């Protein structure tokens, strides 16, 4: 998931007790208790910085994906494996984001690198490498252009998934909504799990899904409150799906597990930080016609680094 990922001091408090001086040697050795602190551990209200007009962020994204597919039954059973790797480097500038808007309504991305390799082949660049993409909302629809010309449709579709999906996940969806202490856990409710299912474009059984987060560490950095947030979500698939280009619905079952680690400013002071994400899944599908059954195993690993441009 990422997403224009969510993101990115902590104060580690420790109490050191000092022993009292022992009695003189000719005094009986009486055990002395250590002083006990009654101070409660610090609680932190986690706040992640949202996009604001004028923000300029340097972003480096990498991802690797593997998929194994087996098709049983029907006239042409087969098995195949494939993999892909993506690498993006760009500077994003938020030109405008009106109050109350979910996302920037005008932004630019100046790409230094944008490429994808598949099955070990040399990396192929996107059409916008070494160019600046203008992302602009007009009426209810976004446009994605370079020097006034729209991007090719396959590339446009990927931008639309980032900017135009309804019920998109937001920063606050992943946060506890209350102050938490280090190692304190929180859990996600059904609406968040439903959004995650939509993000993966898979039908899920919300009642069987589970997920939550934990603030695993806090520390200070450049006068800011930083911390590490760990997130896990287990999605249970159950429902019908019509694959792209197909005319018949597929009965889907299986599981997808998402783990995410976010190291960033948790006081809302900066976008800077690192997000690491892993997705694994075992997905099963069945077509009513011809008794065709599919089994897919997926694994995806990604990392995003965000640095404020001074």
Q: What DSSP element (H or E) covers 124?
A: strand 124-125
pLDDT band at 292 (very low <50, low <70, confident <90, very high): confident
Query: 250: how many CB neighbours lie within 10 A of its CB?
Result: 19
CA separation for the pair 258, 235 (Å, rounded): 8
Residue closest to 287 by CA, chosen among 258, 252, 262, 254: 252
Whether residue 139 is predicted with pLDDT greater than 70 in this model: the reply is yes
pLDDT number for residue 152: 97
* One-character DSSP codes across 11-26: --------PPPPPPTT
231 Cβ contact partners less than 8 Å away, ≥ 6 residues apart? 174, 211, 212, 213, 258, 259, 260, 261, 262
Whether residue 14 is predicted with pLDDT greater than 60 in this model: the reply is no
Write down the domain spans for the chain.
43-308
pLDDT band at 128 (very low <50, low <70, confident <90, very high): very high
Report how far apart the first and last C-alpha atoms of the chain are (Å, whole number).
28
Whether residue 96 is predicted with pLDDT greater than 90 in this model: the reply is yes
Angle at 105 between CA 99 and CA 110, to 5 degrees: 130
What is the pTM for the complete model shown? 0.83
Query: 278: how many CB neighbours lie within 10 A of its CB?
Result: 15
């Amino acid at each position: 998931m990422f997403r224009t990922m969510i993101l990115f001091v902590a104060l580690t408090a420790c109490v050191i007790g000092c022993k009292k001086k022992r009695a003189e040697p000719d005094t009986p050795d009486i055990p002395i208790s250590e002083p006990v602190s009654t101070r409660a551990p610090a609680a932190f209200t986690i706040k992640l910085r949202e996009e604001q007009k004028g923000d300029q962020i340097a972003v480096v994204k990498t991802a690797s994906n593997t998929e194994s597919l087996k098709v049983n039954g029907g006239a042409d059973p087969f098995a195949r494996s494939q993999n892909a790797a993506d690498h993006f480097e760009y500077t994003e500038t938020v030109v405008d984001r009106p109050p109350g808007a979910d996302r920037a309504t005008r932004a630019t991305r100046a790409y230094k690198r944008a490429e994808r390799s598949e099955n070990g082949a040399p990396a192929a660049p996107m059409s916008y490498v070494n160019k600046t993409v203008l992302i602009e909302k007009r009426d209810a629809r976004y446009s994605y252009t370079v020097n006034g010309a729209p991007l090719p449709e396959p590339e446009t579709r990927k931008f639309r998934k980032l900017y135009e999906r309804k019920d998109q996940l937001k920063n606050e969806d992943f946060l506890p909504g209350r102050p938490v202490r280090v190692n304190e856990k929180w859990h996600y409710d059904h609406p968040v799990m439903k959004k995650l299912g939509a993000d993966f474009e898979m039908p899920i059984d919300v009642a069987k899904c589970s997920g939550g987060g934990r603030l695993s560490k806090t520390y200070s950095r450049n006068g800011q409150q930083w911390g590490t947030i760990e997130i896990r979500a287990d999605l249970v698939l159950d429902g019908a799906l019509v694959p792209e280009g197909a005319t018949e619905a597929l009965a889907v079952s299986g599981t997808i597990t998402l783990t995410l680690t976010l190291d960033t400013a948790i006081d809302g002071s900066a976008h800077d930080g690192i997000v690491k994400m892993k997705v694994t899944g075992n997905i099963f599908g069945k077509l009513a016609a011809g008794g065709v059954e599919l089994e897919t195993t997926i694994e995806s690993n990604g990392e995003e680094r965000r640095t404020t441009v001074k």
